[in-house]
């Protein structure tokens, strides 16, 4: 006959001191108190299941009292009698919780942002996270993505206009609503491609039926306003959803202030990636003089992104997305601006924006008028001055273009 354990008491538990090795005090019915060398005391239940000895951990003493430990032991024993392995059951519950946690919308969104941190400019990355934290996470961030409904997303978009922050107090809330919806769409696309969900809810929503499309009124004379030009840049670089060739061309145009015709005409044979420069031959330029375009890191990245799309299919970097091999049509970049709701500011307007703002910020970037005009490929000085001028300010213009990109990417 087996030895019957003497039931424990709170006094006996409190008097139990740690030893060099782990030891256990038995309370009966399989309940033991495990005392470790560091002084911690843990309740466990010993049991046999399918002829295998197992141990179920209840928790620490005194957080869990003796009476509570006995009650839990009874529950564990009842499960065993019903053919349920309590340890396996707990593992399954924890696994389910883990899966549930990974499928929370905010968890998926944070993973999406981690991925995009390697692609997006730092300021834009911060703005997108803040947008999610203000307009999205409080409403659907805690939900399992498979349980988010069409109504949930529509409500998120509609609620945007009611949320006021110091930085959005005077902004166009319709435009903000559209950007919030666009961000949700991007997160869902990430979730779909990473098997977090099989349901593309945003694809079933027509944003134009929820939020009126706002046309951005930007006259050329008013385009020097910093918020307006940064807003337009953000729209063309992050809200454009058409062909990648056109999207890359739009960004290249904005960051270089080239004439639209020159952007459409960029040819692979003119590119020297080793020296980070594109050399336009004289016949390709309005002035009929050779022009060297310095490539910043971002411009070089755009060229590399285009390599897989057009390098083996066309002589043009930004060729027609419809008729591969041909030059992009003359109206494509202007039409792209209009489709984004940008009117009275066409593709050529970036040259005016670049010129005006660079002159206004000369003290900040430290470049001379000659450098600014050289990037616009304008004639500098008199015919006599030009006869003696041998520099095209290539490196100075590279620095200027880096400043220009930083200006456009900065917080509005």
Between the CA atoms of 323, 324, 328 and 329, what dihedral angle is there, to the nearest 10 degrees?
A: -10
pLDDT of residue 5: 67
Does the pLDDT of residue 148 top 50, yes or no? yes
Compute CA 8 distance to the chain's CA centroid, rounded to the nearest angstrom. Answer: 57
Report the alpha-carbon angle 156-162-168, nearest 5.
100
Q: Rounded to 5 degrees, what angle do the CA atoms 327, 332, 337 make?
A: 150
Q: Which residues contact 310 (CB under 8 A, 6 or more apart)?
A: 245, 268, 316, 317, 318, 319, 324
- Token pair for 146: 């498979």
Check if the beta carbon of residue 30 is closer than 8 Å to that of residue 50: no
As a whole number of angstroms, the distance between CA 233 and CA 357 comes to 14
Q: Convert the pLDDT of each residue in 229-276 to its tens digit.
A: 898 998 898 888 888 999 999 999 999 999 999 999 999 999 999 999
Residue 156 token pair: 């998120």
Mean pLDDT computed over every residue of the chain: 87
> How far is residue 95's CA from residue 383's CA, in Å, rounded to a whole number?
78
pLDDT of residue 138: 95
The encoded tokens of residue 249 equal 């061309």
Comparing 345 with 41, the larger pLDDT belongs to 41
Q: How confident is the model at residue 386 (pLDDT cuts 50, 70, 90)?
A: very low
pLDDT tens track for 296-318: 999 999 999 999 899 999 999 99
Q: Tell me the per-residue pLDDT of 185-197, one tens digit each, with 9 for 90 and over.
A: 999 999 999 888 8
User: Is the pLDDT score of 127 beyond 90?
Assistant: no
Output 340 or 97, whichever has higher pLDDT. Answer: 340
Residue 225 confidence (pLDDT):
73
Instruction: Examine the pLDDT at 390 and tell me if it is beyond 70.
Output: no
What pLDDT is recorded for position 261? 93
Residue among 178, 257, 215 at smallest CA distance from 344: 215
Say if pTM beats, i.e. exceeds, 0.75: no
Cα 246 → chain centroid? 21
User: How is 86-131 classified by DSSP, letter by letter?
Assistant: HHHHHHHHHHHHHHHHHTBHHHHHHHHHHHHTTTS-HHHHHHHHHH
């Amino acid at each position: 006959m087996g030895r019957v354990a003497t039931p424990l008491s709170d006094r006996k538990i409190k008097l139990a001191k740690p030893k060099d090795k782990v030891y256990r005090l038995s309370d009966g019915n399989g309940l033991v108190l495990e005392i470790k060398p560091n002084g911690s005391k843990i309740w466990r239940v010993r049991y046999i299941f399918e002829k295998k000895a197992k141990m179920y951990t209840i928790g620490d003493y005194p957080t869990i009292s003796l009476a509570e430990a006995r009650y839990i032991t009874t529950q564990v024993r009842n499960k065993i009698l019903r053919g349920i392995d309590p340890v396996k059951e707990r593992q399954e519950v924890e696994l389910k919780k883990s899966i549930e946690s990974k499928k929370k919308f905010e968890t998926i969104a944070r993973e999406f942002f981690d991925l995009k941190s390697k692609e997006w400019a730092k300021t834009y990355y911060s703005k997108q996270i803040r947008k999610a934290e203000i307009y999205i996470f409080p409403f659907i961030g805690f939900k399992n993505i498979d349980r988010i409904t069409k109504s949930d997303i529509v409500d998120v978009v509609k609620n945007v206009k009611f949320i006021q922050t110091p930085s959005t107090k005077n902004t166009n809330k319709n435009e903000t609503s559209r950007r919030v919806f666009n961000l949700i769409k991007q997160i869902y696309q990430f979730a779909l491609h990473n098997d977090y969900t099989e349901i593309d809810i945003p694809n079933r929503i027509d944003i134009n039926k929820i939020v009126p499309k706002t046309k951005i009124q930007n006259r050329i004379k008013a385009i020097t306003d910093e918020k307006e030009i940064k807003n337009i840049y953000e729209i063309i670089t992050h809200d454009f959803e058409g062909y990648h060739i056109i999207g890359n061309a739009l960004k290249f145009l904005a960051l270089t202030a080239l004439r639209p015709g020159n952007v459409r005409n960029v040819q692979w044979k003119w590119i020297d990636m080793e020296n980070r420069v594109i050399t336009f031959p004289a016949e390709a330029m309005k002035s009929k003089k050779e022009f060297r375009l310095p490539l910043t890191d971002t411009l070089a990245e755009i060229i590399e992104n285009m390599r897989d799309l057009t390098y083996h299919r066309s002589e043009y970097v930004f060729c027609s997305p419809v008729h591969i091999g041909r030059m992009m049509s003359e109206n494509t970049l202007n039409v792209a601006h209009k489709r984004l709701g940008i009117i009275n500011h066409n593709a050529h307007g970036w040259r005016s924006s670049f010129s005006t703002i660079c002159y206004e910020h000369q003290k900040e970037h430290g470049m001379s008028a000659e450098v600014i005009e050289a990037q616009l490929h304008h004639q500098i000085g008199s015919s006599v001055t030009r006869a003696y001028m041998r520099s095209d300010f290539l490196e100075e213009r590279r620095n200027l273009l880096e400043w220009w990109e930083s200006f456009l990417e900065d917080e509005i």
